[in-house]
Chain A
Amino acid sequence: MTNTMQDAGMSRRKAAKVIAGAALGAGLARPAIAQAVTVRWWYHFDNPQHSPAELIAKFEKEHPGIKVQAESIPWGGGNDYATRMFAAVIANNAPDCALVKISNQARLLEMRALHPIDDMVRGWSARSDIADDVWRVNRGADGKQYYLPIQYVVLYLYYRADLLQQAGLQPPRTFDDFLAAAKATTKGDVYGFGMRGGGGGHDHWGSFVLGAGANFDKGGMVNAQALAANRWFVNLHREHKVLPPSAPTDGFRQIVDGFKAGRTAMTIHHIGSANEMVQALGDRVSAVPVPRSPQGTGWTSFGDESNAIFASSRNKEAAFRWIAFLSTAENNVAFNKLTGQLTITTSGSRTWDLHPQRFVDATSQSLPIATVLPDRPQTPDFTRTVWPTNMQRALLGQISPDEMMQTIEKHFNG
């Protein structure tokens, strides 16, 4: 099943009802914690100067029996954070709760590391402020709820409006438009598409290869459609040369800084980088959903983030109050101002003013094709090692595009 966000607005509730529920919060609707407890919580912020201290102070004031010990864990593209989390679980030293991503849920469940929160969520008055689709996307493979969503982003296409205008082109809507725009804007030191070939770049590849029909089911990477899509993608570099020569190893900072410096005309990222893009380029930067295939299909990455409670926690009730607090109305807005991502609450999104509207629009317009990678134990290794290594080899001509797809097929389906 594909967990698409078909209609983000369909489950919105009346703001007044939600805000009233949020004001009551999880804490007020439940009996007080008998003894003072400390909740250990792991988090990561892209900007190390940001701190959750104010949110913690507010929570502790509202919940006198609970202290929150927040531990900032290095993100390292997700790898460092996840590795520390798995190691902590194995060492029986996991925190009470932590920020988590769907791509790690299968592994954590296999380790029996998570505590189901269905009962707690059922009694949480602000749960309806999070869209039903979001709850569904985050549900565990066994049908239970382990994740309490806190923020999201959706990847879209950043483009240089001025360069496309000079070329007499509209923002690309299809793969053909995209290739035409990339070719037209590749001139001198400027390349059409700032592709991310290093860790995390599978999102770029996914927009064009998964978007054209490749999938992770058995045979889904090696059918004719999937192979053709991957050849097309690799040829952006090999044949059309619209990617910078550094693309095979470029990471997040390289693609963002290259775009900001005017060295690329298009790239793919989420709203988290919108403000720095605007700071560098002003009105010359805009965004649209990633292009769609000739068949009209598309794929973009739904960047989820939730909180989860660990099975080993001795303070599950207190931990839930803390993570529920973070996902509640204005607290969630304040939290997302620290992370630069989008509020998960429908009430908060109505008054969202952190990013220019065109990027919020590009995000919401991308929701119909937004999805997550399969929640399977092989997925983290795919994103960290299997995809980058084989993508780089294919881009450099060391293996054929078809061999790359065969390796991915083997990784997932043996």
Chain B
Amino acid sequence: MSQHPSRRDNVALTPYAFLAPALIITGLVVLVPALRTFWMSLQDLILYRPDAARFIGLGNFVRAFGDEVFWISLRQSLLWIVLAVGLQFLLGFATALLLNQSFWWRSVARALIVIPWALPSVIIGLMWTWMYDFNLGVLNDMLLRLGLIARPVAWLADPDLAFYCVVLTLVWQGFPFFAVTILAGLQSIPADQLEAAEIDGATRWQRLRHVTIPGLADIIMTALLLRIIWVANSLDVILLMTGGGPGYATHTLPLYAFQKAYSAMEYGYGAALAVILTALLMAVVMGYVRRSSRGIAT
């Protein structure tokens, strides 16, 4: 029996050799921190008392499930995802359909539509905070001039409004992602299919329902899954606009984890909250992975 690897073995190993650098780097920058976060979540670790850290098993998770603010944050996270992603999708889809029409300034419109997506979240948060401002905000000014309100509204200080105001900001920031992605998909739908449907007497709605949307299904699903993951994790705009307030009105799970880690310096508890969020998102992530690997499997 030969001691040397056969040519067949070498061929079988070659893909792994090519993948190894990417796998090693991914392991170092993703897997190691993720495992470390999980390990941290099992400890009572306060950053400014690193020597007093102790292993408490699932203690942080038990604490979370008995924590009123955790449940408030979780509930609002779900609402945040449904509203923000849902509205971004609807607005993005409508925008893509419009941008797919022929008009003389279409290329300019396509460039302009990307601006909210291209702006840093910090700029967006500050810009919208001042637009909503009670004293000097343009929103109150316009509504007052139009006679739609009698007195200025404290948009971000009203617990019944603040959450939806922040959602609206995120919708404005995120809809171009859907618009651009769906627009690319629209252009890949063969024109002859639409023409054939039109010749067959299909109405505009029927063409959209039976030709366009099925043709975009893959793109829409992938875009939705990606956006759910991003929106579920995002806290920058909320942090800038309200800091989670007033009270707990705009608390979401990542924001609460951030506050526990960076304000209270309770890294153990903050890590546990992050692990719970990760576990909840895992279903979405698995869906995305399954979709993105479907082409590879076949």
Binding site for B on A (CB under 8 A): 79, 83, 86, 90, 107-108, 110-111, 189, 197-199, 244-250, 254, 257-258, 261, 263, 377, 380-381, 384-385, 388-389, 392-393, 395-396, 398
Say which residue of A189, A199, A380 sits within 8 Å of B243 (CB atoms): A199
Say which residue of B136, B264, B265 sits within 8 Å of A261 (CB atoms): B136
Q: Which residue of B lies closest to A86 (CB)?
A: B47
In contact, B262 and A83 (Cβ under 8 angstroms): yes
Map CB proximity to A onto B194-208 as digits: 1 under 8 Å, 0 otherwise: 000000000000000
Q: A96 vs B4: C-alpha distance in the bound complex, in angstroms?
A: 57
Q: A257 vs B248: C-alpha distance in the bound complex, in angstroms?
A: 26
Q: Which residue of B lies closest to A194 (CB)?
A: B135
- Whether B245 sits at the interface, judged by CB under 8 Å, is yes
**Contacts A86-B47, A377-B48, A398-B247 hold; do A249 and B136 have CB atoms under 8 A apart?**
no
Q: A247 vs B265: C-alpha distance in the bound complex, in angstroms?
A: 27
Map CB proximity to A onto B63-83 as digits: 1 under 8 Å, 0 otherwise: 000000000000000000000
- Whether B7 sits at the interface, judged by CB under 8 Å, is no
Q: Which residue of B lies closest to A80 (CB)?
A: B262
- Whether B44 sits at the interface, judged by CB under 8 Å, is no
Q: How far is the CB of B123 from chain A (nearest CB, A)?
A: 14
**Contacts A245-B157, A249-B156, A250-B157 hold; do A380 and B263 have CB atoms under 8 A apart?**
yes
Residues of B within 8 A of A245 (CB): 134, 152-154, 157-158
Q: Which residue of A lies closest to B261 (CB)?
A: A83
Residues of B within 8 A of A248 (CB): 154, 157, 245-246
B interface residues, tally (CB under 8 Å): 28
- Whether B49 sits at the interface, judged by CB under 8 Å, is yes
In contact, A244 and B135 (Cβ under 8 angstroms): yes
Q: A108 vs B47: C-alpha distance in the bound complex, in angstroms?
A: 11
Q: Which residue of A lies closest to B153 (CB)?
A: A245
In contact, B157 and A246 (Cβ under 8 angstroms): yes
Q: How far is the CB of B98 from chain A (nearest CB, A)?
A: 36
In contact, A111 and B50 (Cβ under 8 angstroms): yes
Known contacts A249-B242, A398-B247; 10 further A-B pairs (Cβ under 8 A): A189-B152, A246-B156, A249-B157, A250-B134, A254-B134, A257-B135, A258-B135, A384-B263, A385-B264, A392-B247
**Contacts A381-B265, A384-B263 hold; do A246 and B154 have CB atoms under 8 A apart?**
yes
Q: How far is the CB of A277 from chain B (nearest CB, A)?
A: 15
Map CB proximity to A onto B211-229 as digits: 1 under 8 Å, 0 otherwise: 0000000000000000000
In contact, B246 and A79 (Cβ under 8 angstroms): no
